[in-house]
Amino acid sequence: MTSKPTSAQVAAVCSSPRHGFSKQQQPSIRLLTGRGVEGDAHCGETVQHLYLKRRNPLAPNLMQVHLFQQELLDDLAGSGFHLEPGQFGENITTRDIDLLHLPLGTQLRLGADAVVELTGLRTPCKKIEDFRAGLLKQVALRDEKKIVQARAGVMAIVVQGGIIAPGAAITATLPCGPVRPMQMI
Q: Which residues on adjacent β-strands are paired with residue 141?
A: 149
Q: Is residue 37 part of a domain?
A: yes
Residues of the domain holding 85: 2-174
Per residue in 121-148, pLDDT (tens digit) is 999 999 999 999 999 999 999 887 777 7
Q: Is residue 183 part of a domain?
A: no
> CA Rg, the chain, in Å?
15
Q: Is residue 182 part of a domain?
A: no
Per the structure, how many domains does the chain have? Answer: 1
Mean pLDDT of 22-38: 98
Q: Is residue 181 part of a domain?
A: no
Q: Is residue 146 part of a domain?
A: yes
Q: Is residue 185 part of a domain?
A: no
* 172 close to 40: Cβ distance less than 8 angstroms: no
Question: What CATH number did the domain enclosing 61 receive?
Answer: 2.40.33.20
- 10 Å Cβ neighbour count for 154? 29
| pTM, entire model | 0.94
Residue 154 has pLDDT above 80, yes or no: yes
Q: Is residue 66 part of a domain?
A: yes
